[in-house]
Structure 1
Amino acid sequence: MIKSIIFDMDGTLFQTDKILEISLEDTFNHLRSLKEWDKETPIDEYREIMGVPLPKVWEALMPNHSIEVRERTDAYFLKKLIENINIGKGDLYPYVKEIMSYLKENNCTIYIASNGLTEYLTAIVNFYQLDNWVTETFSIQQIESLNKSDLVKIIIEKYAITNGAVVGDRLSDINAAKDNHLIAIGCKFDFAQENELSQADIVIDSLIELKQIVLR
């Protein structure tokens, strides 16, 4: 039986898609009002790189803008995301609370490791009361490398994990599992890409499938 599971947040537990477009549109409308953007909102480009740390997002979406402008954009976007979380515009994926309750009942410890910022993750955890099941939530902000493999390593070392899995939808999650000798479980959800999922040990279409996997 798997004793510990480290979940990704965006595109795995939280349906980021429900607040992504409106928050991004708000952000680029703000940039337009400041005369710092004159094109369409790059929602498709963001979807392609969804899951990477936000500093890298703005570097990709706004390569010709200064670091200062990117940082201001990042702060505004984060504010909009949190506003939308707190008014209930987001949602968890189906069975999140059911599977977490099941895992805890079967003595499986649960952690979250995300490329999201701490304030953003805290908003989700608090709104959906995930602390009822999650031992600790870790943000990419906690490490200088911005590498999820390093973030997962911190969790493993802190909690002495020897038997566990990483559950996520992107290659960074799969690599984080394999780099740390854990099982890589890929989620075939909104932002997942077939070429990345092919590198996972197991691929699931729904979180409820974890019930059977954990007991193997």
Structure 2
Amino acid sequence: MFKGVRTVILDYDGTLHDSTKNYIHAFKQAYAYLIDAGYAAPRDWADAAITKWLGYSSKAMWENFMPDLDEEIRSKASKMIGQILLEKAKTGQAILYEGALETLQALKEKGYRLIFLSNCSRAYMEAHKESFGLDRYFDGMYCTEDFGFIPKYEIFDSIRSVFPGGYLIVGDRFQDIEVAEHHPVRTVGCRYGFGFPGELESADVLIDDIRELNDLL
């Protein structure tokens, strides 16, 4: 199925990076600020109700989560989450899924071009690149902030103009798999990430561990 693939485009959070613990903490801190400022009501949050926003850009997350929130307040809460996540990465508290780096290394040794594509800020991407030495594995690193947080399928053309086909997209959310609705690419859905049941049903293959990717290619 994946014969002819030369470039593998990988999502980050929920695919390589297990951001569950850090994101839940950051989200709750920001929500506490909104409560204290009188913009939100107290609420007990289930983890799944928070992690469902992982995979969204910050812009899309707030537009869906609290669309009527004042733009200035939304920006402050969003920056609060971003800053906490940044500090976690810079202080060695970010966690990759077991076998993530080994899988990247194995694919690189097989001759694949590896591309990082995440709905994140440049600062977040750079912090994780520094923390894990990601530039040792990735031939190109793209964050949606650099493109005004447009969808990944629109950013794909920028990747295609630089890196050779065929292409494989690997990710845990619909934002990754929907690239195939617009471009001739293969897709691998990561069931261990943050997607909901059925969200990855159109993926060509589903995996339960990032290490399975090395067995497919």
TM-score by length of 1: 0.91
Q: CA deviation at 1:76?
A: 1.3
Q: Is the 8 A contact 1:143 1:150 kept in 2?
A: no
Letter aligned with residue 25 of structure 1: K
Instruction: Tell me the secondary structure at the aligned position of residue 120 of structure 2.
Output: coil
Letter aligned with residue 43 of structure 2: E
- The percent identity for this pair of structures is 23
Structure 1 window deviating more from structure 2 (144-153 vs 3-12): it is: 144-153
Cα distance in 1 for partners of 2:9, 2:122 equals 16
Structure-1 residue corresponding to 2:57 = 53
Match for 1:164 among 159, 164, 167?
167
Q: CA deviation at 1:155?
A: 0.7
Listed one character per residue, the Cα deviations across residues 45-64 of structure 1 (whole Å, up to 9, x for unaligned) are 43334312111211222233
Listed one character per residue, the Cα deviations across residues 15-35 of structure 1 (whole Å, up to 9, x for unaligned) are 010211111112122333333
Listed one character per residue, the Cα deviations across residues 46-104 of structure 1 (whole Å, up to 9, x for unaligned) are 33343121112112222331112111111111001111222232201111111111111
Q: CA deviation at 1:168?
A: 0.1
Instruction: Tell me the secondary structure at the aligned position of residue 115 of structure 2.
Output: strand
Cα distance in 1 for partners of 2:97, 2:131 equals 14
Cα distance in 1 for partners of 2:63, 2:43 equals 17
Matched, 1:196 2:199: yes
Cα distance in 2 for partners of 1:45, 1:110 equals 32
Listed one character per residue, the Cα deviations across residues 131-165 of structure 1 (whole Å, up to 9, x for unaligned) are 11111211112224611101122111122x22120
Cα distance in 1 for partners of 2:158, 2:83 equals 28
Q: Is the 8 A contact 1:113 1:152 kept in 2?
A: no
Instruction: Tell me the secondary structure at the aligned position of residue 167 of structure 1.
Output: strand
The aligned length equals 213
Cα distance in 2 for partners of 1:145, 1:119 equals 14
Higher helix share: 1
Report matched runs for 1:21-36 at 5 Å: 21-36=24-39
Structure-2 residue corresponding to 1:94 = 98
Cα distance in 1 for partners of 2:118, 2:8 equals 13
Letter aligned with residue 120 of structure 1: Y
Match for 2:188 among 185, 189, 198?
185
Cα distance in 2 for partners of 1:58, 1:172 equals 16
Q: Is the 8 A contact 1:27 1:77 kept in 2?
A: yes
Instruction: Tell me the secondary structure at the aligned position of residue 104 of structure 1.
Output: helix
Structure-1 residue corresponding to 2:177 = 174
Instruction: Tell me the secondary structure at the aligned position of residue 186 of structure 1.
Output: strand
Report matched runs for 1:24-173 at 5 Å: 24-40=27-43, 44-144=48-148, 146-159=150-163, 161-173=164-176
Q: Could you say what the CA RMSD is over the residues aligned between the two structures, in angstroms?
A: 1.8
Q: CA deviation at 1:178?
A: 4.1
Cα distance in 2 for partners of 1:19, 1:89 equals 8
Q: CA deviation at 1:44?
A: 4.1
Structure 1 window deviating more from structure 2 (103-112 vs 57-66): it is: 57-66
Instruction: Tell me the secondary structure at the aligned position of residue 207 of structure 1.
Output: coil
Q: Is the 8 A contact 1:110 1:134 kept in 2?
A: yes
TM-score by length of 2: 0.90
Structure 1 window deviating more from structure 2 (138-147 vs 93-102): it is: 138-147
Consecutive unaligned residues of structure 2, counting only runs of 5 or more, are none
Consecutive unaligned residues of structure 1, counting only runs of 5 or more, are none
